[in-house]
Structure 1
Amino acid sequence: MGLFRKKQPDGVSNGGRQIKILFTSDLHASDVAFKKFLNAGKMFKVDIMIIGGDLAGKALIPIIDIGEGKYEVNGEVVGREGLQVITQRIRNEGNYYIITDKKGYEELVNDKSKLDEAFKQAMIERLREWIKIADERYAGANIPIYVNLGNDDPLYLFDIIDESNVMKRTEGFVIPIGDYEMISFGYVNPTPWNTHREMSEDELYSNLKTMMEKVRDPSKTILNLHAPPYGTNLDNAPLLDKNLKAVVRGGEIVMTHVGSKAVRQIIEEYKPLLGIHGHIHESRAFDKVAGTLVLNPGSEYNSGIFHGAYLVLENGKVKTHQLITG
């Protein structure tokens, strides 16, 4: 897959001092969650910031211009002021919107290629808006924002990330972070939804093993892997039936482990310093695998709530780890 490229993003040099990290994942196009992440980076005075994947939103909402300053959204008719309220709510919930007339709406409904193109342009536009905000707020701060794509992110978003001055793509590189190194991988084990970036467990293991062979010292390596390790506190999700509905028994939703066995195997074999993961929104937790600290900050992007993890690395160890919410 050409995972390792010759040119690497600039790393962080700290001369042996402690490294302060802010990690988040699964922002899914939520404006308010992304802006809270940027604010938290300065509040915690971190050295680096990391987004573990899933930048893209999940829905494109059509807004029909019916003329005379009126718009129809999900059956509701509003004026220009109401439109501003609705579009901001859509953005904060991690969705996209497109304003079109009735003819354009019918074309989107009946032509999948036009719908796909509209969705693509909405993703690109939102990410470019985020890049502009990050570049303005972190200009001259010397705090890189390392960004990976997750399973819900199409590959073309990597090219958009490359347009930023402070947001740096991570997948395919060994990133030096002081005395440590970080590798990143956004593919996940197969899901019921057939998302953009999925692999079999064998493929995942092969790619991760190749990556681990590139690092200097596994014990000082951060694994920024979107898929959490299987059988931990990080990968609990509702058990689904054949119709993709949550299974309920005794009035309670049945939970099951859905993480990656390949990720777990790599951690058990190489015993890295730290594993930072996402993907399973409802599994906000810490755990340990073969002595390695692993964590998933969880996600409530659609409620505008920011979830992250604050970490301090010092003397080859994780000195501090704290889940934060705001």
Structure 2
Amino acid sequence: KYTCHYFDKKWDFETEDEVSQMEKRLASVGVLSLRCTEAEVAELQADEAKVTQVIHDAILARMEEWLDLLVERVDTRKVIAVTMPGNDDSPDIDGLIKSYQDRGVVYPLDRVIEIMGHELISLPHVTPTPWDTPREMTEEQLEKEIDKLMQKVKNPRQAIFNFHVPPYGTSLDMAPELTKDLRVKADLGQFYFSHVGSKAVRAAIEKYQPLLGLHGHIHESDGLERLGETITINPGSEYEKGILRAYIIEIIEGRVDNYLRISG
């Protein structure tokens, strides 16, 4: 007999097939599951460091599955498959991505990637969060990092900013406000939102006016917004529903000719 606990829900299963189906359901919405005995559960409850290591190993294993799927489904001889870590990712993720470079996966940090004549620069860091994630910087640090990257760019107006954190004060950076105990602020069912993007990123976009800004980080704040001549995009995320969201962007003769939001 098996028992599955997920937040405040509980399921009981009798067969291996039922357990496998539940594992697939959880994986489809981005949840990492672990099979263990009652004794192993007690051992984990008594050792926080071991829990952290188990989660870390599971994340690396899942990322490896995704990279295997990428090189299996995408012809990297014809497609530039840029794969960048985000603010929640530990440094080990970088090494894993780099290990796939001989199979055509492109690791973009600390360098300029040329895509059809456009220079792409990437930044995984975000402004400080309540969760103290692995890749956070102050606005001053972000400004210096962007300036350092821009020294490598020859044509800023035709550049692509692949910056995980969106520009501050836009439709791309609205996140729910939190209480001190990290609960979502609400009043009579109404949630409160505020801007949590980067002022340094916005200032850089306004200064350099790149062709395109590709952003993420704030899952609830999908959208597209112009900052001067620059189109900035955040596809948002619904991974908890098993939905992948993205944009197809068409660039012709140095301008964004068309774009299409997709999900599946």
Say whether the fold is shared (TM-score over 0.5): yes
| Match of residue 109 from structure 2 | 171
Query: In structure 1, how many angstroms separate the alpha carbons of the residues matched to 2:157 and 2:76?
Result: 32
> Structure 1: any 5+ residue segments left out of the alignment?
1-69
Determine if contact 1:134/1:166 at 8 Å carries over to the other structure: no
Identify which of 135, 138, 141 aligns with 1:197. Answer: 135
Q: How many residues align?
A: 257
Give 1:168 deviation, angstroms.
1.9
When normalised by structure 2's length, the TM-score is 0.93
Asked if residue 131 in structure 1 is aligned to residue 67 in structure 2, the reply is yes
Secondary structure of the 1:204 match is helix
Aligned AA (2:40): G
Matches within 5 A, 1:209-220: 209-220=147-158
Query: In structure 1, how many angstroms separate the alpha carbons of the residues matched to 2:24 and 2:184?
Result: 31
Asked if residue 95 in structure 1 is aligned to residue 31 in structure 2, the reply is yes
**More displaced, 99-108 or 192-201?**
99-108
Query: In structure 2, how many angstroms separate the alpha carbons of the residues matched to 1:263 and 1:182?
Result: 15
Matches within 5 A, 1:18-167: 70-74=1-5, 75-78=10-13, 79-139=15-75, 141-164=77-100, 165-167=103-105
Identify which of 254, 262, 269 aligns with 2:200. Answer: 262
Determine if contact 2:164/2:217 at 8 Å carries over to the other structure: yes
Identify which of 164, 176, 191 aligns with 1:238. Answer: 176
Identify which of 177, 186, 191 aligns with 1:253. Answer: 191
Identity, in percent, stands at 35
CA RMSD of aligned residues (A): 1.4
Secondary structure of the 1:272 match is coil
Give 1:159 deviation, angstroms.
0.8
Q: For each residue in 1:246-286, what CA deviation from the matched residue of structure 2 results, as whole angstroms up to 9, or x when unmatched? A: 22246421211110111001111111111000001111100
Determine if contact 2:251/2:257 at 8 Å carries over to the other structure: yes
Aligned AA (1:316): G
Query: In structure 1, how many angstroms separate the alpha carbons of the residues matched to 2:248 and 2:42?
Result: 47
Decide whether aligned partners of structure 1 residues 231 and 140 sit closer, same or farther in structure 2, where only a CA change above 3 A counts.
closer
Give 1:130 deviation, angstroms.
1.4
> Structure 2: any 5+ residue segments left out of the alignment?
none
Secondary structure of the 2:145 match is helix
| Match of residue 242 from structure 2 | 304
Determine if contact 1:247/1:253 at 8 Å carries over to the other structure: yes
Find runs of 4+ consecutive structure 1 residues off by over 6 angstroms.
none
